[in-house]
Amino acid sequence: MAAVPQKTIHKYLRHNKKFPHVWCPGCSNGIVLGTIIRAIDDLKLERDDIAMVSGIGCSSRMPVYVDFNTLHTLHGRAIPFATGIKMFKPHMKVIVITGDGDATAIGGNHFIHAARRNIDLTVILINNNIYGMTGGQYSPTTPHDDVATTMPYGNIDNPFNICDLAIGAGATFVSRTTAYHAIEAQNMIKKAIAHEGFSLVEVISACPVIYGKLNKKGNAPKMMNQMKDNSIPLAAVNKLPKEKVEGKIIRGILKEVDRPEYTKAYQDLVDKLNNK
């Protein structure tokens, strides 16, 4: 990694197009964008072969900034749009950028079914525990008792564990990290893209301007530090006493298995019917 990280990122941005971006100061989305670009650069992928697809939300604004085949779709529907691209052009690397609300509330059905099919999509789910773009309504990952503009008295809902959901649905690569752990995220994303099958990278992120403010989490640096302090690597889980693990964000590759990939299985069917 001799390249200056910023230079690498600039190589892939659509500079003269739609900047400045829409993200608030202190938002983790920019960090995640950097890790994705560096992962792609490391993998030496052809940018013509990359499609980046998103739904609706803060993180879903990402594709417009990068010089790939980019598609900004409907709320919750990024995965089926991406499925269409992957099915018709299986050689393409299709990356889905989504958030906690986009992927697990309105798009929850598509999320589990893509995992079940094991279609080769790389889903990078930036989880900031809130609907940021619309001003702070609670999402399926807002912690119990936290405040949101539509839970002013504290959240009575229970949050999803998104990685557990993906594992239960049959995803073949499931991992979690945080925006603080940028290098770890970059390596995870590399592995996820290289993985043949449905892969999920959940990136816990900070939304200091909306979620942080509503829940008195402090400023952006403070929230970054919380991600560091409140998370432990998967490898450490068994070594630590139970009380030190409880309530912590577990980082690491939680599942990585081989199972026939959907577009390959379809091609096998086509070949069989044509006696190849």
Name the CA dihedral angle for 66, 73, 101, 138, rounded to a multiple of 10 degrees. 100
Q: Is 270 in the site for another protein (CB under 8 A)?
A: yes
Q: Residue 184 to residues 25, 58, 236, 239: CA-CA distances in angstroms? A: 23, 22, 15, 20
Q: Tell me the number of residues near another protein by CB under 8 A.
A: 38
Options 48-56, 141-149, 182-190, 246-254: segment touching another protein (CB under 8 A): 48-56
Type of residue found at 124: I
Nearest to 193 by CA among 177, 173, 178, 176: 173
Options 78-86, 140-148, 207-215, 242-250: segment touching another protein (CB under 8 A): 78-86
Cα separation of 73 and 61, whole Å? 10
Choosing from 37, 97, 110, 195, the residue that interacts with another protein (CB under 8 A) is: 110
Name the CA dihedral angle for 247, 252, 257, 263, rounded to a multiple of 10 degrees. 100
Choosing from 24, 42, 47, 236, the residue that interacts with another protein (CB under 8 A) is: 47
Residue 121 or 163: the one with the smaller Cβ distance to another protein is 121
Q: Is 83 in the site for another protein (CB under 8 A)?
A: yes
**Phi/psi class of residue 246: alpha, beta or left (left: φ > 0; alpha: ψ in -120 to 50)?**
beta
Q: Is 11 in the site for another protein (CB under 8 A)?
A: no
Q: Is 92 in the site for another protein (CB under 8 A)?
A: yes
Is residue 126 within 8 A of residue 203, CB to CB? The reply is yes
Structure tokens at 18: 């739609």
Count Cβ atoms within 10 A of the Cβ of residue 245 and give its class: 0-12 exposed, 13-18 middle, 19 or more buried. Answer: middle
Quote the least distance from Cβ 109 to another protein, whole Å: 5
Q: Is 80 in the site for another protein (CB under 8 A)?
A: yes
Q: Is 97 in the site for another protein (CB under 8 A)?
A: no
Site string (249-268) toward another protein, x via CB under 8 A: -----------------x--
Where does this chain bind another protein (CB under 8 A)?
14, 17-18, 47-49, 51, 53, 63-64, 67-74, 77, 80-85, 87-89, 91-92, 109-110, 113, 266, 269-270, 273-274
